[in-house]
Structure 1
Amino acid sequence: MSGGGNDEKDGAPATPEQRPAIIFWACMGSAGWLLVTGLFVYLSPLPSDCAGPIRCMTLNEWGDFVAGVSAPLAFLWLVVAVFIQSKELSEQRAELRLTRREFELNRDVMKAQAEDAKQQAAYIGQQTALMTKGATESERKQKEQVLETTLEELGSTIRQHLHMQPVILGSGKNNSFQPAVFQTRSQDNEDFILRFADFLNGISSTGVKPPHFVNPRHKVEMMKAYLLAEEARRLAADLKGHSQSRIDRLRVPEIVSIFHSVFLDMHVDVSSAGEAVASAEFKAPWAPGLADDTDANI
């Protein structure tokens, strides 16, 4: 700040110690002037007919005398007052310079604080992004675990409840009921899922002629398998990528499509399938008293 430096050199402000000294010397000068004037009057010769200076002077003369004596004193104190006022103005200018300098420093501090706040905001944004990414990764891992569990449960349901069972009925010789039994030599749950999809798509190749029906004795297990397959398909659609490829490889969407059409034909509300499974009671189609509307075409 070159301007500020030049202003500070214009005049040094009067300090509190300088002011009493100026007034003291002004008082000393005033006292000296009065003393000199008094001695001058006292030592001046008087007319022979005048008993003393006070008695010989009229009021006008006394006024002129006092005015003449006071004029130098007035001028002296005027100079002192102007000098003190100029010094006070110099002090005010110095205070204004200091105030301006403080404002400049405060402005620099505010700029630094704003920059620091900007950096903190950027840091918080990075942390938020990392937390969001971490939450997304955690949610993805949870869905992958649920998908894995769902596929295991689907394969286990097919292996334990539908394998080697007459889950589908159709027409045989002489229009008799002919069961289609799902069977495979697979040992792995995923292979059970894949072979079950092959079974549903190729029932006619087993020798069981249409129309095909779901064996009511296995409706509960079939509904459970449908719900598990639908959940696996939904999770894979959310996860995409490898999970979706895996579901497609196991042909789970085909199982869902076939199951969905089967249970719609059975007039089962898929959205409340859990309640339907819990309360379902079925009879075999060849059992006495079978209600015809409990069968399902496939």
Structure 2
Amino acid sequence: MIACGAGMTDEKPKAKRTSTLPSGAGKKLCWFGGASVLWILISGAIGLYLRVPDGANTWGDFLAGISAPAAFAMLFAAVWIQSDELREQRKELGLTREELKLTRKEFVENRKVMKEQAKQATKQAEFVAAQTDILLRDRTDEEFKVRLRLLRTFVTSTFDAKYGYVNKGGNRVLQDTGLMTGSMPSDPEKFFMKLCKRLSSALPMTPDENSEAKAAELAQMPLHALVMLNGKLRRLLEMEERLSGSMAAVLQSVNLPYVVEQLNSFNEKRWKEEPDYQAGPRDAHIDG
């Protein structure tokens, strides 16, 4: 995983800035200024020595004449210094462009790092969510298995065995043939699957002779026990969405919604037919 903030705190090499002042500008200005003053002094001294000026107009022309080279020299110095300044400014602009390029490149790198960090964060969140879901489903699976054991204990302790003779290897053997208790496996999961299969065969959509006999046996069982059984099956059905795939497949293999609905209809029909169960609220018996 990319370290948080990688690429964002690293210092990028930046172009070195030089002084914005033109090199030797002060020296040039002093040199040309001194030369101009010296020129004016020497020219004035020569003019006085030779007595060239004669009158105010002549003096004016003389001073204008000796000042013109000095003014031209100062103009040349100003142009030279300005040229140096423009050259330095161009260098400065070049350095600024380089810095902008480096900054833009740094932004691009930072954006790549941030995108990568976002991807890693998303993967982490998905991983944590997956692990959490696995833990929750494992916990629900354990609760489901506990409920299956309690269901088996409830059925074997609540419903009476029904003994009868069956043929085994040519011999008649007395054994439990009850709908709820006969030849039931000890494993809670297999017990649950066989129980649902027997209830489905006793309460089919289209009754036949075999199912009517099983339904008659079911009708002899205590209604309150059947209501409690249906409630336990309903609670198992409510856990389906929170179970792992293997445990959910167990519920789907026995068509538990059909079993719960058919048993509820059977109990409701008996509740209407048996006045002893009509003393309390209907839901207390059917959905309890």
Shorter-chain TM band = 0.5 to 0.7
Paired residue for 1:102? 99
- Aligned counterpart, 1:43: 49
* Equivalent residue letter for 1:162: F
1:99-138 Cα distance to aligned partner (Å, 9 max, x none) = 1111111001101101101110110111111122112212
Residue 284 (structure 2) aligns with: 276
1:184 alignment partner, SS class = coil
Q: 2:24 aligns with which of 7, 18, 27?
A: 18
Cα deviations by residue, 1:36-68 (Å, 9 ceiling, x for unpaired):
213312331x5xxxxxx77xx222212111110
Equivalent residue number for residue 167 of structure 2: none
User: Which residue is 1:30 aligned to?
Assistant: 36
Aligned residues: 242
| Structure 1 position 197, deviation (Å) | 4.9
Q: Which runs of 5+ in 1 are unaligned?
A: 1-11, 47-52, 166-179, 281-298
Matched, 1:230 2:237: no
Cα deviations across residues 164-187 of structure 1 (Å, max 9, x unaligned)?
Answer: 38xxxxxxxxxxxxxx88543657
CA root-mean-square deviation = 3.9
Give the match for residue 6 of structure 2. Answer: none
Residue 112 of structure 1: aligned partner: 109
Q: 2:87 aligns with which of 59, 80, 90?
A: 90
The alpha carbon displacement at 1:24 in A equals 1.7
Supply the AA of the counterpart residue of 1:229. Answer: L
Measured after TM superposition, the shift of residue 198 of structure 1 is: 6.5
Q: Which structure has the bigger radius of gyration?
A: 1
Q: Which moved more, 1:249-258 or 1:121-130?
A: 249-258
Q: How far apart, CA to CA, are the structure 2 residues paired with 1:244 and 1:235?
A: 9
- Is residue 2:263 matched to residue 1:259? yes
Q: TM-score, normalised by structure 2?
A: 0.68
For residues 124 and 194 of structure 1, the distance between their equivalents in structure 2, rounded to whole angstroms, comes to 43
TM-score (norm 1): 0.66
**CA gap 1:250/1:158 in 2 versus in 1, 3 angstroms:** farther
CA positional deviation for 1:139? 2.6
Q: For 1:188, what is the secondary structure of its paired residue?
A: coil
User: Match for residue 150 of structure 1?
Assistant: 147
Offset, 1:163: 3.5
Question: What CA distance in whole angstroms lies between the structure 2 residues aligned with 1:206 and 1:39?
Answer: 145
Q: Which residue of 1 aligns with 2:128?
A: 131
**1:188 and 2:186 equivalent?**
yes
Matched, 1:163 2:122: no
Give the distance between the partners of 1:13 and 1:76, measured in 2 at CA: 26
Is 1:69 matched with 2:66? yes
Following TM superposition, by how much is the alpha carbon of 1:91 offset from its aligned partner in structure 2, in angstroms? 1.6
**For the residues of structure 2 that align with 1:120 and 1:137, how far apart are their CA atoms?**
25
Q: Where in structure 2 are there 5+ consecutive unaligned residues?
A: 1-17, 163-177, 204-208, 273-280
- Measured at CA, do residues 183 and 16 of structure 1 come closer, stay the same or move farther in structure 2, by a change above 3 Å? closer
Change in Cα spacing, 1:254 to 1:135, as seen in structure 2 (3 Å) is same
Specify the alignment match of 2:225 in structure 1.
Answer: 221
User: Distance between the aligned counterparts of 2:219 and 2:89, measured in 1?
Assistant: 103
Q: Partner amino acid for 1:276?
A: A
Contact in 2 for aligned 1:156/1:189 (Cα 8 Å)? no
In 1, the alpha carbon distance for the partners of 2:82 and 2:136 equals 78
- 1:63 to 1:266, Cα distance in 2 relative to 1, 3 A: farther
Question: What is the percentage of aligned positions where both structures have the same residue?
Answer: 22
